[in-house]
Amino acid sequence: MNGIGDQFQQQTKYLPDKMPKHRLVWEAKPSLYKEYPQAARIDLPSFEPSAVMSLDETLRRRKSIRDFRDKPLSKGQLSYLLWASTGIQRQQDGYAFRTAPSAGALYPIESYVIANNVKDLQAGLYHYSIQAHQLEALASQDFRHEIAQAALGQTMRTAAPAVFIWSAVFERCKWKYGQRAYRYIYLDAGHIAENLALAAVSLSLGTCEIGALFDDQVNAILGVDGVEESVICMAVVGVPL
């Protein structure tokens, strides 16, 4: 019981007589949004699901889908899935709150999408600009081979029409919670992933979360350093076979 994970679990416990004495430096609060000012921006259409599926049915139907039909996602579906997983859902008390909860409303998770087969969208890597509800185009190329390699060779899955990749900007959460932030970051990513899974089912689409990945290979695809920002997990999305 002395591995790094065991130590982490013990050393990040809150204990009544040993609470961290951490003063918040408001001037140093990291921005909650990552933007790519040089990137071309692509509008995401507004999209309303044509038939509303009850939450009960969505929960009963959700399962991991690993094989997909050779059918594109529409831009509207992608738009809805991005919004449903982590989009802005309400303005309240001067803050923009999102569809998934986040510890301290610090929102450390960034969303990227590899589009392999999305109608009217060039194949490539995109970043989701949450505030603008737009895509920022980062690289136009076929990433199927690279992302499959980075996902331990899960070739079928990563050839899905879209691959969502979630990274964390650690300082956003560490600013308030120190090392305990890592617990919250993983939980935040899990909420987002489940939002995506349920939203996809409600559109008769399927997803499979992917945690088996070579972190730094995915980081290299995203162009992030793996220290300040690193991949946490991914999910593939498509029309089930």
Ligand X SMILES: Cc1cc2nc3c(=O)[nH]c(=O)nc-3n(C[C@H](O)[C@H](O)[C@H](O)COP(=O)(O)O)c2cc1C
- Selected from 40, 105, 156, 212, the binder of ligand X by CB under 6 A is 212
DSSP H or E segment with residue 26:
none
Least Cα distance to 73 among 36, 147, 123, 26 occurs for: 123
Cβ closer to ligand X: 79 or 207? 207
**Min separation Cβ 229 and ligand X, Å:** 19
Least Cα distance to 167 among 86, 88, 73, 101 occurs for: 86
- Selected from 7, 9, 46, 64, the binder of ligand X by CB under 6 A is 64
Three-state DSSP state, 110: strand
User: What end-to-end distance do the CA atoms of the chain give, in Å?
Assistant: 43
Least Cα distance to 105 among 209, 191, 220 occurs for: 191
Least Cα distance to 42 among 78, 13, 71 occurs for: 78
CB nearest ligand X: which residue? 211
Amino acid sitting at position 192: I
Cβ closer to ligand X: 81 or 138? 81
> CA 148, 149, 151, 154 torsion: positive or negative?
positive
153 contacts ligand X (rule: CB under 6 A): no
233 contacts ligand X (rule: CB under 6 A): yes
Site string for ligand X, 71-90 (x = CB under 6 A): --------------------
- Selected from 100, 162, 210, 221, the binder of ligand X by CB under 6 A is 210
Cβ closer to ligand X: 121 or 168? 168
209 contacts ligand X (rule: CB under 6 A): yes
Interface contacts to ligand X, rule CB under 6 A: 63-64, 66, 154, 157, 208-212, 233
